[in-house]
A = this chain, B = another copy of it.
């Protein structure tokens, strides 16, 4: 109690984490108690925090770089859905006492690669020792022009409902990692596992959505559940057409047009795509934004007056979904 570190915390910070903060002078080389985010006139700071626990949100023997990148990207995915430009992040990491230096180096290398890709830096953090599983929390910061953050609230009857990319890959990747037999070829399985392990936040497209979308969020709990959140906060009803669900080739090979399998993909979670509602009249501008961000988008449903989520099977008939949404637990 009070004496808490298996490694020398200061050496750990200096060797592993301080290099990740070197690109931002307001992180003070992690040698101060706090970092600074200077004001940007006319810009709101968007703040998102999300954590992961080994054995709950990832496998303890996942590659450390992929764990680091998943942690960062699930947060960047939220910033993307809000239309924000990433600025930086702080990290709290509770490491098991027996964590190896090589593991930490690979973890930091994953962060370093993503920092370069997304043009952000580590601003600060805290390292702890835990007798329990590796537990990570990350708070990400981004900027939007003041008042322009895309909310969950705001979908309107008549809007189209759209998703980026493809849905359900990560869920199948997780199933494969859990040794479920999917009867897919090895390259298909590898693709799906990679989609599970390393989400791709749709940042460029999310920024282009500002002013076009009425409401948006990222797909983390599962498309049906996340549409339930959107419907609930917006006070509308969402119709989801499973026949329109955009699938990757591996997922399409697995699901075909079977309603049950497509429903599973639409409730699997961990997609980290953006789902959004926008006026149908915006479709030409949405298509242009999708092209310029090199991000495919697909209309998967519509917004109506009412409440909850209605799911239409591949034949077009409504299918029962508990409480108009799916819940994790």
User: Footprint of B on A, CB under 8 Å?
Assistant: 1-10, 28, 31-53, 55-59, 78-79, 81-82, 84, 90-92, 94, 123-126, 128-133, 135, 137, 139, 141, 146, 149, 151-153, 170-171, 174, 177-178, 217-218, 229, 233, 268-270, 327-329
16 chain-A/chain-B pairs, Cβ below 8 angstroms: A1-B58, A3-B329, A4-B56, A6-B329, A33-B81, A33-B152, A34-B48, A34-B84, A38-B45, A39-B146, A50-B126, A51-B92, A53-B129, A53-B131, A128-B135, A131-B133
Quick one: given A2-B270, A126-B50, A133-B130, are A149 and B92 in contact (CB under 8 Å)? no
Q: Which residue of B lies closest to A36 (CB)?
A: B44
Give the residues in chain B near A82, CB-CB below 8 Å: 32-34
Give the residues in chain B near A3, CB-CB below 8 Å: 269, 328-329
Give the residues in chain B near A57, CB-CB below 8 Å: 1-2, 4, 128
Q: How many Å lie between the Cα of A49 and that of B149 in the bound state?
A: 24
Taking the closest CB of chain B, its distance from the CB of A92, in whole angstroms, is: 4
Whether the pair B4, A329 counts as a contact (CB closer than 8 A) is: yes
Q: Which residue of B lies closest to A11 (CB)?
A: B327
Give the residues in chain B near A10, CB-CB below 8 Å: 327
Quick one: given A44-B36, A90-B139, are A53 and B128 in contact (CB under 8 Å)? yes
Q: How many Å lie between the Cα of A141 and that of B170 in the bound state?
A: 34
The contact of A124 among B5, B49, B146, B233, by CB within 8 Å, is: B49
Quick one: given A90-B139, A329-B6, are A174 and B49 in contact (CB under 8 Å)? no
Give the residues in chain B near A79, CB-CB below 8 Å: 34
Q: How many Å lie between the Cα of A168 and that of B235 in the bound state?
A: 55
Q: How many Å lie between the Cα of A44 and that of B124 in the bound state?
A: 16
Q: How many Å lie between the Cα of A44 and that of B32 in the bound state?
A: 15
Residue picked from A39, A55, A84, A170, most chain B C-beta under 10 Å: A39
Whether the pair A49, B126 counts as a contact (CB closer than 8 A) is: yes
Q: How many Å lie between the Cα of A59 and that of B1 in the bound state?
A: 8
Give the residues in chain B near A123, CB-CB below 8 Å: 47
Whether the pair A124, B48 counts as a contact (CB closer than 8 A) is: yes
Give the residues in chain B near A5, CB-CB below 8 Å: 328-329
Q: How many Å lie between the Cα of A178 and that of B5 in the bound state?
A: 19
Taking the closest CB of chain B, its distance from the CB of A73, in whole angstroms, is: 14
The contact of A218 among B33, B128, B171, B229, by CB within 8 Å, is: B33
Whether the pair B58, A35 counts as a contact (CB closer than 8 A) is: no
Give the residues in chain B near A36, CB-CB below 8 Å: 44-47, 149
Whether the pair A45, B45 counts as a contact (CB closer than 8 A) is: yes
The contact of A4 among B78, B137, B178, B328, by CB within 8 Å, is: B328
Give the residues in chain B near A9, CB-CB below 8 Å: 328-329
Give the residues in chain B near A146, CB-CB below 8 Å: 38-39
Extra inter-chain contacts (4) besides given A1-B177, A47-B141, A131-B132, CB under 8 Å: A3-B269, A34-B78, A51-B94, A92-B92
Q: Which 9 A-B pairs have the closest CB atoms?
A: A132-B132, A92-B137, A137-B137, A5-B329, A51-B92, A37-B45, A34-B48, A49-B90, A33-B78
